[in-house]
Amino acid sequence: MNPSIVPDPVSHDSPRPASEVGRTAGVPKSVDRDRLGTTVAGQVRHSVETLIGRAAVERGLATREQVVLAFEELKKLPKEERAARFAPVFIARGVLTAEQIETLRGWVRDEAHGGAGPDPSGSSMVARAAIAAEPTIPGFRFVRKLGSGAMGTVVLARQESLDRLVAIKLLPGKFASDPLYVDRFFKEGRAAAKLNDPNIVGAYDVGKTDAGLHYFVMEYIDGDTVFDRIQSSRRIPERDALRIARQAASALKHAHARGFIHRDVKPKNLMITKAGVVKLADLGLARAGGDAEAASEEKGKIFGTPYYISPEQVRAREVTPATDIYGLGATLYHMVTGRVPFDGGSPKEVMQKHLREPLVPPDQVAAELSGGLSMIIEMAMAKDPRDRYQSAEHLLEDLELVAAGESPVHARPKLDAPGASMEGMGGPAESELQIASVPRAPGLLSTVPGITVLVLLALSLAANGVLALLLLRR
């Protein structure tokens, strides 16, 4: 495939040169992403199916390679059959489930004009309505859209009273009538407001307009994300990765001290300003550790992103500070090796690997990594929370030591049998796990040389005994 072409395997439109395709603000261009298609300013019209493929990658539901290969299979079909065969092909290849495809289709349609096609402005329906009726939120003047996700659209705005730029998250209209989504949206704002740390995106305001628009005003970060940097350079040098991880660990230390668990630490949620300051973002899944009501409501539900999710989240078990440490460990693994810790043909397969498959040590993937950093990542990603760092403070201490060229004091080399550290965690998938015993070194009697030595020793003792008897008789 020519990497300079942006294909749309489902649409009948001709591909356009990648040089003609614009980029979303803050997201660097990459060949892999171009191969999945980009919708910007109406320059390229992509099918809904192509946008679903892109959304699946951006939300961590599938890898770029899985989606590209599925589209390659679709391209072998006649053009008029591709749209109808999209779901069967993706499901048969294990890229997405039927439910995931429908969910993503809903998100894509929310980005379109009434679901009829890509929006030339690149804005969601909520953002378009807001900008058209400027100022929708009293005291703020909308500038442009920054991005969008499952839980809302983020726009750049100017706060007129203080003459400063801010980011405003808008809850999609389709969620505005759902008390659960509205409550989660406001919880994100309240959680962020309780955290005042230079490494956490600041919260300014949260509310609802007379027109029924729910909004969350936060600090505007002029920069990129760790995900963007991985996309552009694949591997982040150890020195830079340590600097990023230390700031992220400091943010977690602050959040945990105030009783909040983030639950979705990943590259996309670590923003970096142009001055190099790391900011932990998106507290949409954050929950107070002692929130018994929320824990009861969420019982049996899985929250998190498959590539960076902890085993206890997969099992819908209790979350602790060690849960966020696992997410940061998985993020750090991705940064320094250029690949996610566990990959698979579907989200379920990836999550099962978090449960049962032993982690390939990062220094075996990237030989140039220091042993100290490798030990830190392995301890942060221990399958049993009890074997991980028990506090972000201890993790931060080890990161600072390794950054200074010293050895970590909390991390230690450890050889675990596959799945052995999962004992006692319980959960619905327990019966699927095959717990292996720790391999032991062979004993003396279990080797041929050992048996030979023992036989010769016994013969020697017997000969000496006979000789001694003969001497005594004389």
- Residue 273: Cβ within 10 Å count: 14
Q: Strand locations in 209-267, DSSP E?
A: 214-219, 223-225, 260-261
Burial class for 257, CB neighbours closer than 10 Å (0-12, 13-18, 19+): middle
Q: Phi-psi region for residue 419, left (φ > 0), alpha (ψ -120 to 50) or beta?
A: left
Tokens of 368: 């140039």
What residues contact residue 67 under an 8 Å CB cut-off, 6+ apart?
36, 53, 54, 56, 57, 95
- 135 cis-preceded (ω within 30 degrees of 0): yes
The answer to whether the beta carbons of residues 61 and 306 sit under 8 Å apart is: yes
Separation CA 336–CA 363 (nearest Å) = 9
Taking Cα atoms as reference points, which of 213, 157, 154 lies closest to residue 24? 154
Separation CA 38–CA 23 (nearest Å) = 8
Q: Which helix (H) or strand (E) holds 141?
A: strand 140-149
Q: Which residues are catalytic?
A: 264
Q: At what angle do helices 64-75 and 48-58 cross, to 10 degrees?
A: 160
Taking Cα atoms as reference points, which of 129, 164, 125, 166 lies closest to residue 148? 125
Q: Strand locations in 242-386, DSSP E?
A: 260-261, 270-273, 278-280, 287-288
Separation CA 223–CA 272 (nearest Å) = 6
Taking Cα atoms as reference points, which of 31, 186, 10, 180 lies closest to residue 85? 10
**In the sheet where 164-170 sits, what is the strand order?**
140-149, 152-159, 164-170, 214-219, 203-208
Separation CA 285–CA 323 (nearest Å) = 13
